[in-house]
Amino acid sequence: MALGPFTMTPQRATVCDFSFPLHHENFAIITQRPKLESDISGFLKPFTVQVWLLVLASLLSMGLAMTHVTWAEGSIFGLAAKNKIGRAFLWVICTVTQESSHWLPRKDGGRLLVVTWLLASLVFMSSYSGVLTAMLTLPRVTISIDSLADLVSQSSLPWRLEVGVAMLTYLKESKDEVRQKAYRNMDPPISLLLPERQAVIDGEYAVISDEASMKKAMDLDFR
């Protein structure tokens, strides 16, 4: 019978027969509690960068189309108008932001563009307002480290393990690249989690610990 930091691995299974495990210990990553931080760019979050670029392209396209149509209508029907480009682009921006505008095309071609852009602006602003309201009503707390892969892919927060735990052997002998990286790049192990939990609370490092120690630490300091 083996008791202690001795885990079942495929390599060991080739030379011995393991009995059915009586107890299985799960491990977890313990980090500083995430904080809700203010974000001055939050009004851009409802849409992705690609969507915002498409919106910008739509503004430019509609502004150019309205300028061309009003110029063509002026040439055909003899309508004089000053600063066609400025008025057309100002109308496009005012419409998408749901602001009133005193300028409107006089003929059917321009009015058709007006109806099309009004419908598109209504759909866009309704979607934007709905998503933004939901984000403000229920703020999201981003958890930057949610797995072992997340832990090893960042460099701002070091991590440690407890001395003598089976996870050290498991990570060392694992053929998985993520687990190998977790073993190679970790800081020196700590003796126990509970005496060192204040450092975890202060955000000095993360700890890969067993489930029992994790629950004990959470019960003492993360209420």
Query: Does residue 141 carry a pLDDT above 60?
Result: yes
The domain segmentation of the chain, as residue ranges, is 10-35+143-221, 42-137
Residue 53: pLDDT band (50, 70, 90) is: very high
DSSP per-residue string spanning the chain: ---SS----HHHHTTSPPPPPS----EEEE-PPP-----TTGGGTTS-HHHHHHHHHHHHHHHHHHHHHHHHHHHHHT---S-HHHHHHHHHHHHHTT---S---SSHHHHHHHHHHHHHHHHHHHHHHHHHHHHHHSPPPP-S--SHHHHHH-SSS-EEEBTT-HHHHHHHH---HHHHHHHHTPPPPBS-TGGGHHHHHTTS-EEEEEHHHHHHHHHHH--
Q: What is the CATH number of domain 42-137?
A: 1.10.287
User: Is residue 207 predicted with pLDDT exceeding 70?
Assistant: yes
The pLDDT value recorded for residue 104 is 76
At residue 80, the pLDDT reads 66
Q: What is the pLDDT of residue 160?
A: 92
φ, ψ for residue 29, nearest 5 deg: -100, 120
CATH class of 10-35+143-221: alpha beta
Cβ atoms < 10 Å from Cβ of 219: 9
Q: What confidence tens digit (pLDDT) does each residue in 76-134 have?
A: 777 766 777 888 888 888 888 888 777 777 788 888 888 888 899 888 888 888 888 87
CA distance linking residue 27 with residue 213, whole number of Å: 9
Q: Stretch 44-65: mean pLDDT, rounded?
A: 89
